[in-house]
Amino acid sequence: MVQGNASISEFILLGVSEEPELKPIIFGLFLSMYLITVLGNLPIILAVSSDSHLHTPMYFFLSNLSLVDICFTSTTVPKMLWNIQTQNKVITYEGCITQMYFFLLFAGLDNFLLTVMAYDRYVAICQPLHYTVIMNPRLCGLLVLVSWIMSALYALLQSLMVSGLSFCGYLEIPHFFCELNQMVQLACSDTFLNNMVMYFGVVLLGGGSLVGIIYSYAKIVSSIRGISSAQGKYKAFSTCASHLSVVSLFYCASLGVYLSSAATQSSHSSATASVMYVVVTPMLNPFIYSLKNKDIKEALKRFVGITGIKWPVFLGMRKCPRLQGSKSWSQKLLFFR
C-alpha cells in the first residue's frame, strides 16, 4: 500500500477501447469531432465580438458558452489523441489533478451559463418592456463572473479533496480522462467525505440549475399561451428553441452517463457514454444555434466579407506606386475612397 501522495507519480488512462485495431478509427473520429468543435464555436465568438448588431445579452452569453465549449473539449481530447498517437497511456499525478480541475471548471460553467441563458429568455419573453433595463451590461457581466467564481471554487474544492486521498496498487483509470468519480474509486483511504461532497455538489449545482431552467421555461410557456396570435406564439417560442435544444442535449447526455454507469457497473461503458456530453454536445451546440439563426449567419457573412476585403486592400496599398511615395496617411485614405 502507498500512503500519501508523495510517492505517486503517474496514472494509466485506459481510454475508450483497448482493442488495437480500433485505435486508428477512434483517433480519426475524435480528431474530427474536436476540429469540428473548435471550427464550429470559434466563428460564433468572432462574429459576436466583431458585429455591433450582436452586442446583446443573448449573444454575449452565447459567445461565452462557445468559448467554454472549446475549453471543455480541449481539457480531455488532445491528451487522449496524444496517448493514442504515442501509444503511451501514462498521465502524471499532477497532470491528472490539473485535468480534473479544468474539466470540473468548464463543466460547471456550461451548467451555469445554460441557466443564465434560460433566465435571459425568461426576461425577454415574460418582461419584454423591461428587458433592456433588467439585462443591462453590468448584470450580464456579473452573472458570467459569478458563474466563473462558483465553478472555480467547486473545482478547486474537489481537486484539493482528491489530492488528499491515498492511492495504492497499479493505478489504472478505465476512462479517457481523469474523471472525478473514477479517481475517488481508486483511492485506498476513506472516501466517505469525498462521495458526500460530490453528491452534494451534483444535487446543489446541477439540480439547482436544472430547477432554475425548468422554472424559467414554465413561466415562458405560461406567457406564450397568453399570446393571442399563432404567429406571435411561434415567434416567441422560436427565440427559445435553440437554447432548449442545447439544454435537453446537455442534461439528457449527462443523465444518461450516470444512469448507464449505475445500471451496467461497467467503467468502459461509462467512458463510452461520457463521449456524448464531453465531445458530441460541444460539437453540436454551434450548429444548433447557427443553422436557424439569421443574425449569426448575417454576422458571419459580414465578418468573412470584411476579412476577405482587408487582404486585397493591404496588398494593393503595398504595390500601388502612388501610395508608396505619399507623405501622409490622409492621402492614402483619400485614394481608397
User: Domain of 238: which CATH number?
Assistant: 1.20.1070.10
CA angle 293, 295, 298 (to 5 degrees): 110
- The answer as to whether 319 is a domain residue is no
- Grid look-up 448507464 returns 260
How many whole angstroms from its chain centre is CA 42?
Answer: 12
pLDDT at 50: 86
In a domain, 197, yes or no: yes
Can you tell me the distance from the alpha carbon of 336 to that of 328, in angstroms, rounded to the nearest whole number?
14
CB 66 within 8 A of CB 44: yes
Instruction: Yes or no: say if 259 and 251 are a contact pair by the CB < 8 Å rule.
Output: no
Domain assignment present for residue 256? The answer is: yes
Mean pLDDT of 147-172: 91
Whether 334 is in a domain gets the answer: no
pTM of the model: 0.85
**Contact assessment for residue 70 and residue 286, using Cβ atoms and an 8 Å cutoff:** no
More confident of the two residues 180 and 304: 180
**Structural Rg of the chain based on CA atoms:** 24
d(CA 32, CA 88): 21
Cβ-based neighbour number of residue 181 at 10 Å: 15
> Is 304 inside a domain boundary?
no
Nearest to 72 by CA among 319, 225, 277, 308: 277
Provide the pLDDT for residue 314. Answer: 42
Q: Domain for residue 2, yes or no?
A: no
Task: Specify the 3-state DSSP secondary structure of 66.
Answer: helix
pLDDT exceeds 60 at position 17: yes
Displacement of CA 252 from its chain's centroid (Å): 15
- pLDDT recorded at residue 133: 95
Number of domains forming the structure of the chain? 1
Adjacency order of strands within the sheet including 90-92: 90-92, 10-13, 172-173
Range of the structural domain that residue 55 is part of: 10-299
Whether 268 is in a domain gets the answer yes
Residue 127 has phi, psi (to 5 degrees) of -135, 60
* pLDDT recorded at residue 306: 59
At a CB cut-off of 8 Å and minimum separation 6, what does 192 contact?
none
| pLDDT tens, residue by residue, 64-102 | 999 999 999 999 999 999 999 998 899 999 999 999 999
| CA neighbor of 120 nearest in space, from 190, 73, 59, 186 | 59
Neighbouring CB atoms inside 10 A of 35's CB total 12
pLDDT reading at 265 higher than 60 = no
Within a domain: 264: yes
pLDDT in tens, 113-140: 999 999 999 999 999 999 999 999 999 9
Q: Helix (H, G, I), strand (E, B), or coil: what is residue 119? A: helix
